[in-house]
A and B are shown apart, each in its own frame.
Chain A
Amino acid sequence: MRTVYLDNNATTCVAPEVTEAMMPYFTELWGNPSSMHAFGGQVAASVTKARGTVADFIGAERPEEIVFNGCATEGDNHALMGVAATWNGPGTIITSRVEHPAVLGPCLRLREMGHNVIEIGVDGEGRFDLEAYEAALAANPGPKLVSVMWANNETGVIFPIRRIAELGKAAGATVHTDAVQAAGKLPIDVREVPVDLLTLAGHKMHAPKGIGVLYVRRGTRMRPFVIGGHQERGRRGGTENVPYIVGMAKACELAKAALADGSEARIAAMRDRLEAGLLATCPDSRVNGARACRVPNTLNISFEYIEGESVIYLLSDLGICASTGSACAAGSLEPSHVIRAMGVPFTAVHGSIRFSLSRYTTDAEIDYVLKHTPEVVAKMRALSPFVPH
């Protein structure tokens, strides 16, 4: 059976060029970059080069502003806990209601520690409430940290991060963005977007799982999160994961080339064809975030009167990999906090399905999904007591 992988917001395939770039660092160049001898020293040079490549990918002024770490969850934890740790007393963290748990979790902890956490809401299309954000900035003197995602993982909705960062900086806040779902899908340039901190994940952009990046703008006050080593200029202890750092750099290089090559327009065309096709063949369906600005690869669609987990299982039987914000699939009873924050009608909230494409997605794969998804939806609706007749 064929596999059609449309779950690239969950994880992506490792690009063959990335695997190839990493291999020598498993077999021959396995030295410790901190060593004094030449055998380790040659590896340190590779890490330095990789740092430069990643810095170039996001427009960072200096390579030292790039901190390699284990994953985006670590990057988000480091950003939030590290900045709050520099405050003398309680401060304010302004975030959104639709953040990834990697941000919401630390926010909950910071609240327990006595800090003030404000979650800004979104409208029915998943768009960030700039007005409420400005009000929150104005109403809270004292130390402030803003942490707002660049693009949402479930809907693909892009937040006006440049404006958010400018307003935050003007109000004296430190500004962090989780750019995991934006990287590789749209240009990222910290010369134009004045964030202080930015999180990346390797495995969402065709590098392997287990490598992440935190960009730390020069002059940003923060404390290390993983402590006990001089590595990464004392900002992240632990021997450098050299093969993965090299792989991450290769992935950034490939993503930059793909963006320059217009691959995102091709992905957007496929996504739009999938979206239009499903809306045409599956009545009573709605696209979540349809009127908002979205990353080109993501389609979040709710099929009314049916439940997401069962759709995912039937698609999986056909080799189609997608995901759902349905409660049942997550093992909880509450459906996705993102879809709920958008006020999606309760008839549709349990049936939201996310298809997320990559530059490896083909037109033939979209054809296959367009052919089979209506059958799956029809099968589940035939079982449902709620379909109006």
Chain B
Amino acid sequence: MWDYTDKVMDHFRNPRNVGTIEHPDGKATVGSLACGDALTFMFRLGPDGRIAEAKFQTFGCASAVASSSALTEMVLGKTLEEAEKITNRDIAEYLGGLPDQKMHCSVMGREALEAAIHNYRTGEENTVSVNEEIVCTCFGVSREEIERVAKENSLHTVDEVTNFCKAGGGCGMCRDRIQEILDEVNHAAAAAPAAPAPKKLTTLQKIRLIEQTLDEQVRPVLKKDGGDVELVDVDGDTVRIAFRGMCAGCRSAALTRDNLIAARLHEFVDPALRVVTE
């Protein structure tokens, strides 16, 4: 069982303000069934411009329900300007804390609040603009969102980012990108030694980089379908590979070679590489 505080369990067992408001001033839904948790949050303003009523509906685990319930209690009586200042940390602290792996529940609360206020002000239903870079496609998490949770919660590792906003917790393909964003946020780039990258790779460096790229970028994809790839030889710019498992003899193997393997090797090792099958 999770180490939930008594307050989390109380809000889970006896959630406050469940339901809907007939004519809400602001309303938003964040998350989805496929993601495993979702929250619909809405509020009504009183004549004094303060939140007079807040309601929620949640699909999710005990801490998702508790975070939503806590949020509705926290915003009551606040002006929108005051409510906007609520962070995910405030929600977690209100509940006496959440397990690390469950921090994303508090982030979901803050996101819903923000989206509902945005909805009140603009009438728009969605705060994610089309131009935004979606980093984690499994859970639909944008670059902006990752930057924000990283800054607000002083996050340094990809696992921490996953705990707080789920990004990187699905197929894992975006984990490198998340690390880059973290490095930028934490100015790690500035601290890194500014040694210029060697112009030409030695053969040994090239082989190691190819193996590393196959390991990190290619194999996880192939393994999902029970396949694998083996590096047979590297001769100058010619990379000789062999498909294994379900990839061996697969009719799409040539497509995989060109669209996945060659593309990744060009990106991460050297654009001059030519990939051939054994």
A in complex with B = yes
A350 beta carbon closer than 8 Å to chain B: yes
State whether the Cβ of B273 lies closer than 8 Å to any Cβ in chain A. no
**Contact present for B58 and A335 (CB under 8 Å):** no
Q: Which one of B12, B15, B170, B228 lies within 8 Å of A313 (CB-CB)? A: B12
**Minimum CB–CB distance for B267 against chain A, Å:** 24
Most buried by A among B15, B59, B166: B59
B33 interface residue (CB < 8 Å to A): yes
Q: Which of A116, A305, A331, A333 is the one whose CB lies under 8 Å from B36? A: A333
Chain A residues with CB under 8 Å of B244's CB are 116
Do B61 and A333 touch across chains, with their CB atoms under 8 A apart? no
Task: Check if B58 sits within 8 Å of A383, measured CB to CB.
Answer: yes
Task: Report whether B62 and A310 are in contact in the complex, using a CB–CB cutoff of 8 Å.
Answer: yes
Q: What total count of A-B pairs have CB within 8 Å?
A: 87
A92 nearest CB across to chain B (Å) = 8
A123 within 8 A of B: no
Contact between A116 and B245, CB atoms less than 8 A apart: yes
> Given B1, B62, B64, B228, which contacts A116 in the complex, CB threshold below 8 Å?
B228
Any chain A CB within 8 A of the CB of B248? yes
Instruction: List the A side residues contacting B166 at CB < 8 Å.
Output: 333
A385 at interface by CB-CB < 8 Å: yes
**Interface status of B213 (Cβ within 8 A of chain A):** no
The interface-forming segment of A15-23, A64-72, A321-329 is A321-329
Main secondary structure of the interface of B (DSSP, over half): mixed
Contact B34 A385 (CB under 8 A): no
In the complex, per-residue mask of B199-230: 1 if CB is within 8 Å of any chain A CB, else 0: 00000000000000000000000010010101
Please tell me if the beta carbons of A117 and B245 are within 8 angstroms of each other in the complex. Answer: yes
- Cβ-neighbour of B62 out of A139, A309, A347 (below 8 A): A309
Determine if B59 and A385 form an interchain contact, defined as CB atoms under 8 angstroms apart.
yes
B1, B58, B101, B244: residue with the most chain A Cβ atoms closer than 10 Å: B244
Partner-contacting stretch, out of B37-45, B114-122, B233-241? B37-45
In contact, B36 and A335 (Cβ under 8 angstroms): yes
Looking at the complex, which one of B18, B60, B170, B245 makes contact with A307 (CB distance below 8 Å)? B60
Contact A384 B58 (CB under 8 A): yes
Q: Nearest Cβ distance between residue B58 and chain A, in whole angstroms?
A: 6
A386 touches B38 (CB 8 A): yes
Complex-state Cα separation, A333 to B61, whole angstroms:
12
A383 touches B36 (CB 8 A): no
**Interface size, A (range):** 35 or more
* Nearest-Cβ distance from residue A96 to partner chain B, whole angstroms: 10
- The docked-state distance in angstroms from the alpha carbon of A309 to that of B8 is 14
CB of B109 to closest CB in A, whole Å: 14
> Does A332 sit within 8 A of B, measured CB to CB?
yes
Asked if B57 is at the interface of the complex by the 8 Å CB criterion, the answer is yes
Asked whether, in the complex, the Cβ of B170 is within 8 Å of the Cβ of A333, the reply is yes
Contact B59 A118 (CB under 8 A): no
A258 within 8 A of B: no
| Cα-based distance from A386 to B228 in the complex (angstroms) | 39
The yes or no answer to A61 lying at the interface (CB within 8 A) is no
A334 within 8 A of B: yes
Cβ of B246 within 8 Å of any chain A Cβ, yes or no, is yes
Complex Cα spacing A111 to B9, Å: 43
Are B39 and A111 interface neighbours, CB within 8 A?
no
Contact B226 A118 (CB under 8 A): yes
Q: Are A346 and B34 in contact (CB under 8 A)?
A: yes
Given contacts A117-B245, A383-B57, contact A307 B37 (CB under 8 A): yes
User: Could you give 24 example pairs across A and B, Cβ below 8 Å?
Assistant: A97-B226, A111-B223, A116-B228, A117-B226, A117-B228, A117-B245, A307-B59, A307-B60, A309-B61, A310-B61, A326-B61, A328-B60, A328-B102, A331-B101, A334-B170, A346-B34, A347-B33, A382-B18, A383-B18, A383-B65, A384-B57, A384-B58, A385-B40, A386-B59
A-B interface, 9 closest residue pairs, ranked by CB to CB distance from nearest: A333-B169, A328-B61, A385-B57, A309-B61, A385-B40, A346-B34, A119-B226, A384-B59, A350-B36
Inter-chain pairs besides A328-B36, A383-B65, 11 sampled, C-beta below 8 Å: A97-B226, A119-B226, A307-B60, A307-B61, A310-B65, A326-B36, A328-B37, A328-B102, A333-B166, A384-B57, A385-B38
